[in-house]
């Protein structure tokens, strides 16, 4: 391209940005403001605060900024006004007094693509379609009775995981178990059997592609997509950075996985788990033209995305963080193992009845979710109306991040907040499913996670059996303090360096 062409192109881009900004300013000039906007870091023209965020919206970076500007902080991401909530007090006020205004989801490019245009539950705008999806999932998959009915599947998959680790340990004393990978396979297999009727990931070929796509989807969700903040001008930047093609690749990979499962169900090819699963229910609703709910093929795939990604990544990440924290804190590891082993004795397996008598194990799970909530910024929200919060004015269509990671370390509520000390939960009635705002790993308000019951029982069962069946040793030459806690960027935080430990089978004979 000649330099004249480049000049013309640049002038055109600058002109469009100028028109954008003018329009944006005009919209705001017509508003009447009664209260100041929340404080925030200084912005640069055009890009706002984007230069302070390193191409991804990271809970840690937002927390650092909120240390300087307060628990209610304004940002501007290009043309998008944003708000960050970083304390239990402000989260409580926002959700108790203004739940409705904070219940919408923004229409972000990555999330729209992977949710088939917001046809799912997690990224659907607040409204009838979203309510309907929550109802369908609650009635057919996530209510306490259904969750209880999946107990045999959970126990079977966890015991298969224990067997796999035992076999590997017997084959070679020095072999390390990649716990991050093992746990991702466990949680993905579990949700496949629970919701989709069989484990579609037994074969290595789909397993590698699908699990890699789940991870990449989370990274895409957490990345700054320029199209979201600069319209089509930004979409050119996303093409150049490779974000658009990555998103397309993840979409195609997951879409073909869902197509295989749906085809299987239509052709009744699968080995039945002796019951109708979630895909059967959705397909039946799709065939029923007389009902009030119209379920299209894309709607089904959008719902499968929520369930598959929602259940796989969060649970696997939390389990890996639990094992990391325990390995760094041998006193806690020892206490948790003694509790489990003295209750279960030589029975050979911790079952779900045993979990009821393991208060310390439950406290370990809570403490892990406090320090390492796998979705540290929950899922982004968008305000639907104007409201006043702590004396500041919040405008409609503001992108909202609730920093659950910062809230779990809020020193106003948590003594020695950085310490991994499960004892803090033994005599405490702090709820972790959205009622107590100082602990919100599952979110809060109307958008609270509908899969919390399934998530918690999976975490407790898997962790209990890992601690019961094995003693865990560090690789040669490594000390407890060397186990790192660095996290990957993305919507779900994983350990950057996979957790690899040596499993020594515990002999109860």
Position 455 contacts ligand HEM (CB under 6 A): yes
Give me the DSSP letters along 453-480: HHHHHHHHHHHHHHHHHEEEE--TT--G
The rounded distance, in Å, linking the Cα atoms of 465 and 437 is 30
Contact with ligand HEM (CB under 6 A) among 71, 234, 441, 489: 441
Q: Give whichever of 106 and 455 is closer to ligand HEM, judged by the CB atom.
A: 455
Ramachandran assignment for 455, one of left (phi > 0), alpha (psi -120 to 50 degrees), beta (any other): alpha
Return d(Cα 361, Cα 276) in angstroms, integer: 33
* Interaction of residue 448 with ligand HEM, rule CB under 6 A: yes
Candidate ranges 40-48, 235-243, 341-349, 442-450; the one touching ligand HEM (CB under 6 A): 442-450
Nearer to ligand HEM, 226 or 405 (CB): 405
CA 434 to chain CA mean position, Å:
15
Q: Does 472 participate in binding ligand HEM (rule CB under 6 A)?
A: no
Closest CA to 73 of 460, 392, 471, 416: 392
**Is 500 one of the annotated binding-site residues?**
no
The Cβ of residue 152 has, within 10 Å, a number of other Cβ atoms equal to 11
For the CB of residue 294, give the shortest distance to ligand HEM in the complex, in Å. 20
Per CB under 6 A, the list member of 310, 422, 489, 490 interacting with ligand HEM is: 310
- Size of the residue set binding ligand HEM (CB under 6 A): 26
By CB atoms closer than 10 A (0-12, 13-18, 19+), residue 483 is buried
Q: How far is the CB of 1 from ligand HEM (least distance, A)?
A: 45
* Cβ burial 287-316 (10 Å sphere, 16+ → b, else e): eeeeeeeebeeebbbbbbbbbbbbbbbbbb
* Least Å from the CB of residue 228 to ligand HEM: 18
Q: Which is nearer to ligand HEM, 422 or 441 (CB)?
A: 441
The yes or no reply on residue 343 touching ligand HEM (CB under 6 A) is no
Q: How far is the CB of 14 from ligand HEM (least distance, A)?
A: 37
Q: How far is the CB of 287 from ligand HEM (least distance, A)?
A: 24
Window contacting ligand HEM (CB under 6 A); options: 36-44, 178-186, 203-211, 452-460 = 452-460
Q: How far apart are CA 219 and CA 217, in angstroms?
A: 5
CB of 468 to ligand HEM, least distance (A): 20
Rounded CA separation 76/82 (Å): 6
Give the footprint of ligand HEM on this chain (CB under 6 A): 121-122, 134, 306-307, 310-311, 314-315, 318, 374-375, 378-379, 441-444, 447-451, 454-455, 459
Name the binding residues for heme: 449
């Amino acid at each position: 391209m000649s330099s004249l062409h480049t000049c013309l192109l640049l002038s055109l881009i600058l002109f469009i940005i100028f028109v954008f900004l003018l329009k944006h300013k005009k919209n705001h000039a017509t508003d009447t403001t009664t209260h100041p906007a929340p404080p925030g870091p200084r912005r640069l023209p055009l890009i706002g605060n984007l230069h302070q965020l390193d191409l991804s919206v990271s809970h840690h970076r937002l927390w650092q900024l909120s240390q300087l500007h307060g628990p209610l902080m304004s940002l501007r991401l290009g043309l998008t006004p944003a708000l960050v909530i970083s304390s239990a007090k402000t989260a409580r006020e926002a959700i108790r007094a203004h739940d409705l205004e904070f219940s919408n989801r923004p229409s972000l490019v990555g999330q729209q693509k992977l949710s088939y245009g917001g046809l799912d539950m997690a990224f659907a705008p607040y409204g009838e379609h979203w309510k309907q999806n929550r109802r369908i999932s609650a009635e057919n998959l996530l209510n306490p009775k259904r969750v209880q009915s999946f107990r045999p599947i959970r126990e079977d998959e966890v015991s298969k995981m224990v067997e796999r680790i035992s076999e590997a340990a017997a084959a070679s004393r020095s072999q390390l178990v990649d716990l991050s990978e093992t746990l991702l396979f466990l949680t993905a297999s579990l949700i496949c059997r629970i919701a989709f009727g069989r484990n579609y990931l037994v074969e290595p070929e789909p397993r590698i592609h699908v699990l890699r796509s789940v991870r990449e989807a989370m990274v895409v969700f957490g990345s700054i997509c320029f199209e979201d903040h600069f319209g089509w001008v930004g979409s050119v930047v996303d093409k150049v950075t490779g974000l658009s093609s990555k998103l397309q690749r993840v979409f195609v990979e997951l879409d073909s996985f869902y197509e295989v499962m749906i085809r299987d169900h239509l052709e009744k090819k699968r080995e039945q788990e002796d019951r109708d699963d979630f895909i059967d229910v959705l397909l039946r609703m799709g065939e029923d033209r007389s009902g009030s709910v119209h379920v299209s093929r894309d709607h089904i795939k959008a719902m499968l995305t929520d369930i598959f990604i929602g259940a796989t990544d969060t649970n696997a990440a939390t389990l890996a963080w639990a094992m990391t924290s325990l390995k760094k804190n041998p006193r806690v590891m020892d206490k948790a193992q003694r509790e489990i082993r003295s209750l279960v004795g030589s029975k050979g397996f911790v079952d779900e009845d045993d979990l009821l008598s393991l208060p310390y194990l439950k406290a370990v799970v809570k403490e892990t979710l406090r320090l390492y909530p796998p979705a540290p910024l929950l899922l982004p929200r968008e305000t639907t109306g104007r409201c006043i919060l702590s004396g500041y004015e919040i405008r409609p269509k503001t992108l909202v991040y609730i920093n659950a990671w910062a809230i779990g370390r809020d020193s106003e509520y948590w003594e020695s907040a950085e310490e991994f000390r499960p004892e803090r939960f033994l005599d405490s009635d702090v709820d972790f499913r959205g009622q107590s705002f100082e602990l919100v790993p599952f979110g809060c308000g109307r958008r609270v996670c509908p899969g919390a019951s399934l998530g918690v029982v999976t975490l407790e069962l898997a962790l209990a059996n890992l601690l019961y069946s094995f003693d865990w040793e560090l690789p040669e030459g490594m000390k407890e303090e060397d186990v790192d806690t660095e996290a990957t960027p993305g919507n779900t935080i994983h350990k950057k360096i996979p957790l690899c430990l040596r499993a020594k089978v515990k002999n109860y004979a």
